[in-house]
Amino acid sequence: MRCLKACPTEAIRISEGTASIQEHRCIDCGKCHEVCPVEAIYINQDDFEMVHTFPHSVALIPAVFLGQFPEDVRVSRIYDALVDLGFRHVFEVESGANIFAQAKERYAMENEDIRPLISSFCPAIVRLIQIKYPSLVENIMPIKAPLDLSALYCLQELQGRGIPREEIGLFYVTPCAAKIAAVKAPIGEKRSIIDGVINMDSLFNRTYRKIKEQGKNHISKQNRTINLSSDAILSTLTNGERRICLAKKSYSIDGIQNVMDFLDKLENDEVEDVEFLELRACDQSCAGALLSYENRFLCGARMYARARKAAERERNGEVPREREMDKWKDYLLENSRVEPPQPRSMFVLDADRSKAFEKMERINKLKARLPQIDCGLCGAPTCESFAGDVVINRIGLSRCIFYQRHLERKDDITRQECIAAMNAVWGKEDRMSD
């Protein structure tokens, strides 16, 4: 029941002793995976061997990937290990952060009537708003994330060198499940240009093992690793976008429950005059993402240390890597927009509006008859979600053990029928005898 209670959109139900996820409610935040004590939920990834099928395979790595490694492991060593693992090119996706910021500024100026503007950086938050806060969908900025802008740059750059598209493989190293979904089923686009997704914890293990195999005396193949700016490095952490935005009043909120608490207030008009919102599903943003190997605070501290060094290099005249993208700046900005996201109903009662209102009334009446303690023993996370499942004929009312007692007193149900109703939720095994 841990996953049942942890899901922010009530997407999980228990039936026949097994938890299942309702895909139309799921936002791929990974909270169920995080709390499951028996690893019943796992996150798929593409076959790593796909990397070797492209002559020009590109590792699109997030800055938090570098933050997984101890301080004594240089960035050039990590790049070398990735090349030895089969990648031809390595590119940090935060290189697109500057173009992303400019695209947001342009959109903000063109849409002064929409406030607050909500960043599209975190795909789990975009899906959360689509499902649970549909009235705020129009506030989401329809801008490609830095990942997509960097992927587009890599594709244009390599094709500009005469390399055909079929020889280029773009592989994103993802820190979370939501970004896998963003690649496999992008919002506002028909398909992603990224060819494969590799889980960050999996690649960290491969990379760190390769670094140890190379030994301390390894001579780097990188003549010079071009570093990101301090702003780009920190863009994936909490306050990363807000610290460089032009909005007079803005908020940075991380942690999905914190985000929902704030969005509840926003929907109820309890928050006023906000211009921009940076919302992230994970605590400490991408440093605390589900597929991180390292502790989120240690990862964040390493990223801040790297950012300080980058700032010092910038003061000494070093040009950060994201400036490489300037020659494609106009092209990237022109192609930075996606179709505006649309609401995704979490709970479609009926296609007929009048019937839907009738069912909603039935749900409210049934909810008032339930105990309102959200015990979860019926296989639904809350009494309200249970009432909805009953009204749409997904399950029977007798699954509520409190309502069973009411029916027993009226002799409307037998003890065997009560047991059968519970078996339908938890399976036939007699768990009380264990």
Instruction: Tell me the pLDDT tens digit for each residue of 39-50.
Output: 888 888 899 999
388 pLDDT exceeds 70?
A: yes
Q: Which tens digit of pLDDT belongs to each residue from 49-73?
A: 999 999 999 999 999 999 999 988 9
What is the rounded average pLDDT of the residues 245-271? 92
**Measured distance CA(128)–CA(30) in Å, rounded:** 12
Domain boundary among 310, 334, 358: 334
Domain boundary among 334, 364, 392: 334
Among residues 22, 23, 26, 33, the alpha carbon closest in space to that of 199 is found at 33
Q: Is 38 in the same domain as 83?
A: no
Confidence at residue 434, expressed as pLDDT on a 0 to 100 scale: 41
Q: Is 282 in the same domain as 139?
A: yes
Residue 99, in any domain of the structure: yes
Residue 76, in any domain of the structure: yes
Q: Is 253 in the same domain as 228?
A: yes
- Expressed as residue numbers, the domain containing 29 is 2-42+347-433
Q: Which tens digit of pLDDT belongs to each residue from 142-152?
A: 999 999 999 99
Q: Is 144 in the same domain as 62?
A: yes
Residue 52, in any domain of the structure: yes
Q: Is 427 in the same domain as 292?
A: no
- Is-contact 155 170, C-beta < 8 A? yes
**Measured distance CA(232)–CA(240) in Å, rounded:** 8
Q: How many domains does the chain have?
A: 2
Predicted confidence band at 283 (pLDDT cuts at 50, 70, 90)?
very high
Q: Is 326 in the same domain as 356?
A: no
Q: Which tens digit of pLDDT belongs to each residue from 303-335?
A: 999 999 999 988 988 888 888 898 899 999 999
169 pLDDT exceeds 70?
A: yes
Confidence at residue 410, expressed as pLDDT on a 0 to 100 scale: 86
Q: Is 285 in the same domain as 374?
A: no
Write down the mean pLDDT value for the chain: 91
Lowest mean pLDDT among 137-151, 364-378, 418-432: 418-432
Confidence at residue 87, expressed as pLDDT on a 0 to 100 scale: 96
Residue 341, in any domain of the structure: no
- Is-contact 349 332, C-beta < 8 A? no
**Measured distance CA(199)–CA(206) in Å, rounded:** 11
Confidence at residue 432, expressed as pLDDT on a 0 to 100 scale: 45
Q: Is 98 in the same domain as 160?
A: yes
CB-based contacts of 260: which residues, under 8 Å, 6+ apart?
A: 8, 128, 132
Token pair 């039935």: residue: 362
Residue 23, in any domain of the structure: yes
Residue 426, in any domain of the structure: yes
Predicted confidence band at 104 (pLDDT cuts at 50, 70, 90)?
very high
Q: Is 238 in the same domain as 327?
A: yes
Which range among 212-216, 233-237, 357-361 has the greatest average pLDDT? 233-237
Q: Is 183 in the same domain as 99?
A: yes
Q: Is 65 in the same domain as 124?
A: yes
Phi and psi torsions of 117, nearest 5°: -85, 135
Residue 257, in any domain of the structure: yes
Domain boundary among 334, 369, 399: 334
78 pLDDT exceeds 90?
A: yes
Which pTM was predicted? Answer: 0.90
Among residues 282, 294, 306, 329, the alpha carbon closest in space to that of 92 is found at 306
- In the β-sheet with 276-280, what is the strand arrangement from edge to edge? 117-118, 276-280, 250-254
Token pair 């993802």: residue: 174
Q: Is 97 in the same domain as 224?
A: yes
What is the rounded average pLDDT of the residues 155-183? 95
Residue 339, in any domain of the structure: no
